[in-house]
Amino acid sequence: MNPMLNIAVRAARAAGDAIMRHFDRLDAVQVESKQRNDFVSEVDREAEARIIAILQRSYPDHGILAEESGEHPGNGEYQWIIDPLDGTTNFLHGFPHFAVSIALQHKGRLQAGVIYDPVRQELFTATRGGGAELNNRRIRVTRRAGLEGALLGTGFPYRTDQPREVYMDLLDTFMGATAGIRRPGSAALDLAYLAAGRIDGFWELGLSRWDIAAGALLIREAGGIVADLHGGGDYLETGNVLAANPKVFHEMNQIIARHLQNR
């Protein structure tokens, strides 16, 4: 295994262990509200601290961008992008669908990614040019030829600053064109599931870099396409992401382009 990926896996598993120790005693977990419908718990912070400690011990010169503690500048060209608990709301309600997400960038290019589901003990990994795996087994996106019969993943807008009208129009269109839409509540796992062929496409608005980075690399290494809503490569900057296997991506991209043109 790539040495940097190996360290990321170690960090993700350590964070997952910390998360699961609290999962059976959620009533004792301290929670704060960052903004409406956006929460952080002591578990998020503990998991993030474990990840950062492991990464900094091995790579003290690397920069870090973490959801809860922000940016830790480094001295080199590498930056780790961390979401210690993607799906905090699920976790706090005892809904067993959440994950740890860790990605590594070098000069702005994604090089390694790990998404770890500690409930199912599913470890999704990818390295640039090295393919994507689930528990050491190679994974690929689906071969579905279009939206007919497709299963899509998404995330509903939950903040007041997110473009709900655009989203609801797209949701209505995609519901009528596919076999179904799923909204499990963890963007990182949605992207990992796309890479593993469990869904055919995904779109969401207003995400953060740490929600997307590891999953984007997984999808690309599994043969899929990841873009912003205009079909470009600014999804990490805009937080608006469209991803799918190539044929489903083409149809989704056309539909989104029409919606955006009519606004």
Token digits of residue 132? 């994507």
pLDDT tier, 95 (very low <50, low <70, confident <90, very high otherwise) = very high
Residues 59, 167: Cα–Cα separation, whole Å: 40
pLDDT tier, 134 (very low <50, low <70, confident <90, very high otherwise) = very high
Domain membership of residue 205 (yes or no) is: yes
Residues 213, 105: Cα–Cα separation, whole Å: 9
Q: Are residues 128 and 163 in the same domain?
A: no
Q: Are residues 110 and 159 in the same domain?
A: no
Domain membership of residue 143 (yes or no) is: no
β partners of residue 66: 70, 82
pLDDT in tens, 111-126: 999 999 999 999 999 9
Domain membership of residue 159 (yes or no) is: yes
The CATH number assigned to the domain holding 7 equals 3.30.540.10
Is residue 117 packed enough to be buried (19+ CB in 10 Å), middle (13-18) or exposed (0-12)?
Answer: buried
Q: What is the distance, to the nearest Å, from the Cα of residue 49 to the centroid of all Cα atoms in its chain?
A: 19
Q: What is the distance, to the nearest Å, from the Cα of residue 46 to the centroid of all Cα atoms in its chain?
A: 20
pTM of the entire predicted model: 0.94
Q: Are residues 101 and 204 in the same domain?
A: no
pLDDT in tens, 29-80: 776 555 454 455 788 889 999 999 999 999 999 999 998 888 999 888 999 9
Q: Are residues 182 and 257 in the same domain?
A: yes
Token digits of residue 47? 């998991």
Q: What is the mean pLDDT of the chain?
A: 92
pLDDT in tens, 136-180: 999 999 999 999 999 999 998 766 666 678 888 899 999 999 999
pLDDT in tens, 239-256: 999 999 999 999 999 999
Q: Are residues 162 and 69 in the same domain?
A: no
Q: Are residues 129 and 163 in the same domain?
A: no
Q: Considering its fold, how many domains does the chain have in total?
A: 2
pLDDT at 182: 97
The CATH number assigned to the domain holding 221 equals 3.40.190.80
pLDDT in tens, 207-216: 999 999 999 9
Q: Are residues 38 and 161 in the same domain?
A: no
Domain membership of residue 145 (yes or no) is: no
Domain membership of residue 144 (yes or no) is: no
Residues 177, 95: Cα–Cα separation, whole Å: 29
pLDDT at 37: 40
Q: Provide the percentage of residues in the chain whose pLDDT is more than 90.
A: 77
Q: Are residues 12 and 47 in the same domain?
A: yes
Q: Which domain holds residue 170?
A: 151-261
Tell me which of 117, 138, 159 is where a domain ends.
Answer: 138
Q: Provide the percentage of residues in the chain whose pLDDT is more than 70.
A: 92
pLDDT at 263: 63
Domain membership of residue 146 (yes or no) is: no
pLDDT at 250: 97
